[in-house]
Chain A
Amino acid sequence: MESKENSNKIGRRSVLKALAGVPVVGLLGYEILKKSKYDKAHNVQKEILNELGLTDIHSHVKTVTDASKGDLIRIGMVGFGGRATALAEALGFLDAGVFEKVGGAEAYATQIEFGNLNVAITGICEVFDMRAEKGLSTARHDIHTQGEFAKKHPVKRYMHYHDMLADKNIDAVVIATPDHHHAQMTIDAVRAGKHVYCEKSLIRREEEIERVYEAVTGSNMVFQLGHQIPQNAVFQQAKEIIRRGTLGKISHVETSSNRNTPSGAWIRHLDAQGNPKPGDERSIDWKQWLGPMPYYPFSIERYYSWARFFDYDTGLYGQLFSHEFDAVNQALHLGIPASVMASGGQYFYTEFGDIPDVLNTSYEYPDKGLTLTYSANLTSSRTHPRTIYGKDASMTLGADMTVTADRNSEKFSDLIGRGVIDPSTPMLSIVNDGGQAGGVDGVTSATSKYYASRGLTGTVIGGRNWDVTHLHLREWINAIRNGGKTSANIEMAYQEGVAIAMADISYREKCRTEWDPVNKRIIRVK
């Protein structure tokens, strides 16, 4: 036999031996088919999605459409601090030096290819010279052509925002000033025929709400408030799950925002070495900065750490609760609460400013049979995601989303009994994870729990990572060009403004507040 094998002729047995791997491949193929059949028949994920009527939940994510077509939109930016820098980058503009430092064209490949909005920043209005310079150098360097496009659309500095609004060469404004300017600037801008993207919070005091609402609704201008959460793919799917009634009767929505750093408490006037940051009365137009607020001598604390002062802001409500309210209102359409009760105090950061560092607030919706609560503190970074409590299931909604069946749910008792649903772990989770494009996990696996613990600032739509702020601005630009509604439109902003003002009054005046929908005013119940 050995001699046979050594000959040039290949024996039949040798051929058969050499082909030993072929039936193995065949067996693997057969097993794969068997497995896929079995998986199809025993797919708990599918079964849960079927039972919940959520098999098409993937499709409830708004697609990102091309926003570069149409006429050029010339944008003026009012205020150019930290938030404005982020907004400019989301619009496609970044200082050339920073651009190179971050990694140049390679680091911005996706934005260069897909993020072009065909807008130019042609105006900067800023009371502080140093920031104005930063704004100008940012506007002069667009990310898409690395400055070539921006060269054709020169940028101008305006010393007062009225001058910018009077200029016919500005089509739209982005307002990113301290909060005490937002309402009046928005009113003046829409009256001057400019579209407005305004950072939150739109209002600081009750009396601003009706005026800004009437000004915006009485104009044809497109308004967007700076709440980017609804652009998140996970959020859009969560909203649809709520709309279909998966949670059953909802009676409690819990929101919170906790932080534990001086910067998080808006103490921002010192640099890393503990020295005051730059700026004085010669380089800052203090009078314009104060605007309609009572006169106060120049203060570097007030200039940088304005959010600590009720003169310029509503503290936690305007800065953080506004995002929470918008998220909940976009998902549940709560509208204006019937009454609000707030309590808390300034117990830790007592050096300057007058905002509280601990707050607890209840917003009552008796017609919806629901209470919204907001708890916040500035002395602990332990957080928990927004939680929506339903009779049949509860939902957590942070960067990721989970839905967990209630062990006492009548609706799910059969599924729980059959072991399809385990009420001790989420039955549904949508993870904001790259590659899985808002992937739905029927039963949370160890892996998805592991990913869920990591928060992400972007969102994945169509297999691409998007900055949600970019998507929010894109929506605004699209609405300016093609019509249509913005997510954080003036109706939503109005409801939010009232909710914030009711809580703010309740805290500061130590009373319960009620909303009078007929006369559109807030009643203090002492």
Chain B
Amino acid sequence: MNAIQRNTVIVLRIIIGWHILYEGIVKLLTPGWSSFGFLSHSQWILTGFANWVITHDGVLQVVDFLNTWGLIAIGLGLVLGLFTRVAAFAGAALIFVYYLNNPPFVGLETGPVEGNYLIVNKTLIEAVALFLIGVFPSSVPFGLDSLIKKQRK
């Protein structure tokens, strides 16, 4: 990879990290935020699981906690380039779960959206982009991982 290719992947890493970190912080700062509303409108294969979560107070609280702090941790990892690969794959998996809860498939009812989507939406694109960040070198030189790697050498 030449420098432009490498740095473009790094820019992608940082802006997705920004988005995820902000999503996490908003949830943290919103009083009484819960994934209840999102999960109660889950459609397709995860509906059963989502219902199980929202009908169990304790489980819902755990999911809310993991969601908020998971987003913050993944977002920070991506922006700072710290444990980048773990953060990218974890982020890809988490966002893919969001996608599966509400995929824009033919026949599934969706809430109001700002664009037009069929099977592919921005959520899916973000998940795949995170996967891309995970499989490409994306923390050297602009990331804390590069320091860790050097120290280990």
Contact = CB atoms under 8 A, between A and B. Distances in A.
A7 to B, nearest CB: 9
A106 B147 CA distance: 50
Contact of B146 (A17, A106, A446): A17
A433 interface: yes
Interface stretch (A24-32, A297-305, A325-333, A385-393): A24-32
Interface class of chain B by DSSP: helix
Q: How large is the interface on B (under 10, 10 to 19, 20 to 34, 35 or more residues)?
A: 35 or more
Nearest to A9: B150
A440 B151 CA distance: 53
Interface string A275-297: 00000000000000000000000
A205 B59 CA distance: 52
A38 interface: no
A25 B37 contact: no
A107 B55 contact: yes
B144 A21 contact: yes
B40 interface: yes
Nearest to B10: A20
A21 B146 contact: no
Nearest to A446: B112
Interface string B19-56: 00110010001001111110010000000000000111
A3 interface: no
Nearest to A460: B36
Nearest to B76: A25
B37 A20 contact: no
Contacts of B145: 18
Most buried by B among A15, A19, A24, A449: A24
Contacts of B82: 21
A145 interface: no
A109 B55 contact: yes
A21 B80 contact: yes
B39 to A, nearest CB: 9
A106 B56 CA distance: 8
Nearest to A435: B36
Interface in A448-479: 449-451, 463-464
Contacts of A436: 32, 37
A464 B142 CA distance: 46
Contacts of A20: 14, 81, 142-143
Contacts of B76: 25
Contacts of A447: 111-112
A469 B79 CA distance: 51
Contacts of B25: 32
Nearest to B114: A446
Contacts of B17: 21, 24
Interface in A365-408: none
Interface in B127-153: 141-147, 150-151, 153
A8 interface: yes
A451 B41 CA distance: 10
A28 B72 CA distance: 12
Nearest to B113: A446
Contacts of B54: 434
A28 to B, nearest CB: 6
Contact of A109 (B18, B35, B36, B57): B57
16 contacts: A14-B147, A17-B141, A18-B143, A19-B144, A21-B143, A25-B79, A28-B22, A28-B79, A32-B29, A113-B57, A434-B40, A434-B54, A435-B32, A435-B36, A435-B37, A449-B112
Nearest first, the 4 closest Cβ-Cβ pairs linking A and B are A435-B36, A21-B80, A446-B112, A20-B142
